[in-house]
């Protein structure tokens, strides 16, 4: 088999790239390790930057997002029992859209299938060959049979645990990592959200986040030790802990109910450089991870896809290598800013095991600065709604 671009990974990065390439008549094949049902069963991101919404529009997959997505013009921040709102719209002129990653992925699958896109599920043993030459190819197993696809380019969109990143030789790669000493325990429940906007809350007992997917589906998170096991957290224990960490007035009106999903995610910052090796390009979580505070993971994956799509179009349209040659540099420049924001927001809002009184005072002073300074609020708002591509 032959195609122009082999895309490894059928998560949001891989699907979006495949759909965008299709709009320009560039052929791709998407190889996904899991089944479609498994990919759609993962509960992940919920907040989309404007740039991502624009990309989905460009890809022709914005119809349901436009009717069902919730526009958020601001967010509430609370520290102990003090809370204040950051007005994104007033500070930047822009908003964010609350629409689940699951729904984005579902819409992208529907679009790829409607145009007979080639998606191959449940592949195993995927290997990238000759990425440093002009004729790369990818081999994989499906139902015990090995197949080979020849191509012009390979896009490694296979997430943090994928194989693409490690195809780049170790002496070429440079990796940067920070592991945080806690995780997020998240639940999904069919209850109305406690507020019409998100609440990021820092309390003496640790961080909490109140988010949502739609008017009858809430997503809540609490900071927890990495040694905790989600199965040992009863729903009652979760709700009780959440209520202790959010402003009293919200705790009193919080509607609780059975959880329909409960899991713990560790928090990590990670970047690999470069994001290109020969004809292999890394996109999204395959190249970088951020802690979820600030909702930058999926959005940064989308900006990578944008730069790569532009570069591939330049090459296929005119044989111009400028876009693919500068892909890594362009993507990483934006990635590092998202890393900085996510690290800063995580450091500001969580309780750390080794935090002394001085560190707590510093956190408190910074929160008060945010509450009182228009300039500090504007900086947060600019990063939250998304820096320009």
Is 307 tagged catalytic? no
Per DSSP, the three-state class of 37 is helix
Residue length, the chain? 389
Pairwise CA distance, residues 230 & 252, whole Å: 25
Using CB under 6 A, pick the residue from 3, 28, 32, 350 that binds ligand RFL: 32
- What sections of the chain are H helices per DSSP? 12-23, 36-41, 50-58, 63-68, 88-92, 101-114, 235-245, 248-253, 297-318, 322-325, 327-349, 357-372, 374-385
Q: Name the segment binding ligand PHB (CB under 6 A); options: 41-49, 145-153, 163-171, 330-338.
A: 41-49
The answer, yes or no, to whether the previous bond of 102 is cis (omega within 30 of 0) is no
Nearest-approach distance from CB 287 to ligand RFL, in angstroms: 8
Who contacts 301 (Cβ-Cβ below 8 Å, separation ≥6)? 12, 13, 157, 283, 284, 285
The residue among 229 and 253 lying less far from ligand RFL, judged by its C-beta, is: 229
For residue 285, with 0-12 CB atoms within 10 Å meaning exposed, 13-18 middle and 19 or more buried, which class applies?
Answer: buried
The yes or no reply on residue 295 touching ligand PHB (CB under 6 A) is yes
Using CB under 6 A, pick the residue from 45, 59, 187, 335 that binds ligand RFL: 45
Which residues 178-207 are close enough to bind ligand PHB by CB under 6 A? 198
Which listed option, ligand RFL, ligand PHB, none, makes contact with residue 219 (CB within 5 to 8 Å by class)? ligand PHB
Contact 73, 91 (CB under 8 A): no
Which residues 329-388 are close enough to bind ligand PHB by CB under 6 A? none
Nearest-approach distance from CB 344 to ligand PHB, in angstroms: 13
The yes or no reply on residue 48 touching ligand PHB (CB under 6 A) is no
Pairwise CA distance, residues 214 & 96, whole Å: 14
Contact 106, 249 (CB under 8 A): no
Is 384 tagged catalytic? yes
The yes or no reply on residue 46 touching ligand PHB (CB under 6 A) is yes
Q: Which two tokens stand for residue 310?
A: 């532009």
Using CB under 6 A, pick the residue from 7, 21, 198, 295 that binds ligand RFL: 295
Query: How crowded is the C-beta side of 130, counted as CA atoms within 13 Å?
Result: 13
Cα of 146 vs its chain's centroid, Å: 32
Cross-strand partners of 71 = 97
Q: Which of 79, 99, 200, 220 is catalytic?
A: 200
Is 378 tagged catalytic? no
Which listed option, ligand PHB, ligand RFL, none, makes contact with residue 155 (CB within 5 to 8 Å by class)? none
Nearest Cα to 338, choosing from 305, 379, 386, 304? 386
Which listed option, ligand PHB, ligand RFL, none, makes contact with residue 163 (CB within 5 to 8 Å by class)? ligand RFL
Which listed option, ligand PHB, ligand RFL, none, makes contact with residue 294 (CB within 5 to 8 Å by class)? ligand PHB
The yes or no reply on residue 298 touching ligand RFL (CB under 6 A) is yes
The yes or no reply on residue 47 touching ligand PHB (CB under 6 A) is yes
Who contacts 36 (Cβ-Cβ below 8 Å, separation ≥6)? 10, 109, 119, 121
The residue among 165 and 375 lying less far from ligand RFL, judged by its C-beta, is: 165
Q: Which two tokens stand for residue 319?
A: 């044989």
Q: Name the segment binding ligand PHB (CB under 6 A); options: 44-52, 161-169, 240-248, 275-283.
A: 44-52
Which listed option, ligand PHB, ligand RFL, none, makes contact with residue 287 (CB within 5 to 8 Å by class)? none
The residue among 82 and 261 lying less far from ligand RFL, judged by its C-beta, is: 261
Contact 118, 30 (CB under 8 A): yes
Pairwise CA distance, residues 174 & 269, whole Å: 14
Q: Name the segment binding ligand RFL (CB under 6 A); options: 58-66, 67-75, 292-300, 365-373.
A: 292-300
Show which residues are catalytic.
72, 200, 292, 296, 384
Q: Which positions touch ligand PHB (CB under 6 A)?
A: 45-47, 198, 209, 211, 219, 292-295
Q: Which positions touch ligand RFL (CB under 6 A)?
A: 8-14, 31-34, 39, 44-47, 101, 123, 126, 157-159, 161-163, 184, 186, 265, 284-285, 292, 295-299, 301
């Amino acid at each position: 088999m032959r195609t122009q671009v082999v895309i490894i990974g059928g998560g949001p990065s891989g699907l979006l790239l495949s759909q965008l390439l299709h709009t320009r008549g560039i052929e791709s094949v998407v190889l996904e390790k899991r089944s479609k049902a498994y990919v759609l069963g993962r509960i992940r991101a919920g907040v989309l930057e404007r740039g991502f919404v624009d990309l989905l529009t460009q890809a022709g997959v914005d119809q349901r997002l436009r009717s069902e997505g919730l526009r958020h013009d601001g967010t509430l921040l609370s520290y102990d029992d003090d809370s204040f709102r950051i007005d994104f719209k007033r500070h930047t002129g822009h908003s964010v859209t609350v629409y689940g990653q699951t729904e984005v992925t579902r819409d992208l699958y529907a679009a790829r299938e409607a145009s007979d896109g080639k998606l191959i599920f449940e592949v195993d043993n995927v290997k990238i060959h000759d990425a440093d030459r002009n004729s790369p190819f990818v081999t994989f197993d499906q139902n015990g049979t090995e197949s080979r696809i020849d191509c012009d380019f390979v896009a490694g969109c296979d997430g943090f645990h994928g194989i693409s990143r490690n195809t780049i030789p170790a002496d070429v790669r440079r990796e940067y990592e920070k592991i945080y000493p806690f995780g997020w325990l998240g639940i999904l429940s069919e209850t109305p959200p406690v507020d019409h906007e998100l609440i990021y809350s820092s309390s003496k007992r640790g961080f909490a986040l109140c988010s949502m997917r739609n008017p009858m589906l809430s997503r809540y998170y609490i900071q927890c030790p990495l040694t905790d096991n989600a199965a040992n957290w009863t729903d009652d224990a979760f709700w009780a802990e959440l209520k202790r960490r959010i402003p009293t007035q919200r705790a009193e009106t919080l509607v609780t109910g059975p959880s329909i999903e409960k899991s713990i995610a560790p928090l990590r910052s990670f970047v690999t450089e470069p994001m290109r090796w020969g004809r292999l390009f890394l996109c999204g979580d395959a190249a970088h991870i951020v802690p979820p505070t600030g909702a930058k993971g999926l959005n940064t994956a989308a900006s990578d896809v944008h730069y790569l799509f532009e570069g591939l179009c330049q090459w296929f349209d005119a044989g111009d290598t400028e876009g693919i040659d500068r892909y890594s540099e362009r993507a990483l420049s934006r990635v590092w800013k998202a890393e900085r924001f996510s690290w800063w927001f995580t450091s500001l809002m969580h309780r750390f095991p080794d935090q002394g009184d001085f560190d707590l005072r510093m956190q408190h002073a910074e929160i008060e600065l945010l509450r009182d300074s228009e300039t500090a609020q504007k900086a947060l708002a600019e990063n939250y709604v998304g820096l320009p591509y």
